[in-house]
Amino acid sequence: MQTSSDKPFLIVETGQPVPSMRRHGGFPHWIRSAAGLARGKVDAVDVEAGETLPPHEGLAGVIVTGSGAMVTERRDWSEASAAWLRDAAHAGVPVFGICYGHQLLAHALGGEVGDNPKGRKMGTVAVDLLPAAADDPLFAGLPDRFLAQATHQQSVLRAPDGATVLARSDHDDCHAFRWGEAAWGVQFHPEFGTVHMRGYVHARAEALARDGFDPKRIAAEVAAAPHARNVLRRFVRHARRRQAL
């Protein structure tokens, strides 16, 4: 008989890191390491490459990665993944979407995703918790403002109906949300350490300069974000507890 601790987490791989950072592995490795998950407790499905998602029954939880793609492109693999996530969330499977995964989950549940009217955002950002976060399983007890790593051009412009917006930033009114009791989306990257974030800034230096930013200054201002990483680890613990019920 399969116990809750035997059930694997599934990482839905929606993209690859920028080429210069792939020597550090792919997103599933970064997420598994940041989440504190043992290698044998995680499966990964590369939906961008056409791999098929398994039945969501029997999963401890689902984590959806970031991507260089845009949700508004409505790629076939992305739309199919959104439908799968919608079914999983409605079935009560714990889901945690990161960046593109955050946006894809919002889209799947009826929210609105699009280009952020403020443009590109990259670097270490300040995330401000909203009052609803005070009793949220992942955010309760965290500082009202904490640092996180971010890199995106699109955002959740409108959270899904029935969702609770948990955090905002100067760039994003919906930087984190919860839908139901077990589905979360966060715009920030809890799996990014300072090396990952600086690597992304260096990789996107030309694009940042074209948009009027100073990539050297952004890289210099990158700082550790332990509270953001803790949110991911709390998700893993919360999912395990739910499966044990």
Residue where the block lists tokens 């009793």: 135
| Angle, vertex CA 197, rays to CA 229 and CA 84, nearest 5 | 60
pLDDT in tens, 141-160: 999 999 999 999 999 999 99
Q: At what angle do helices 100-108 and 76-90 cross, to 10 degrees?
A: 70
Q: Is 189 a catalytic residue?
A: yes
Cβ pair 67, 48 in contact under 8 A: yes
Spot the catalytic one: 175, 189, 196, 238: 189
Domains of the chain are: 4-244 (3.40.50.880)
d(CA 164, CA 99): 17
Q: Is 99 a catalytic residue?
A: yes
pLDDT tens-place values along the chain, 245 residues long: 344 467 999 999 999 999 999 999 999 999 999 999 998 899 999 999 999 999 999 999 999 999 999 999 999 999 999 999 999 999 999 999 999 999 999 999 999 999 999 999 999 999 999 999 999 999 999 999 999 999 999 999 999 999 999 999 999 999 999 999 999 999 999 999 999 999 999 999 999 999 999 999 999 999 999 999 999 999 999 999 988 77
Spot the catalytic one: 48, 191, 196, 238: 191
d(CA 67, CA 200): 13
The pTM score is 0.96
Spot the catalytic one: 48, 56, 99, 196: 99
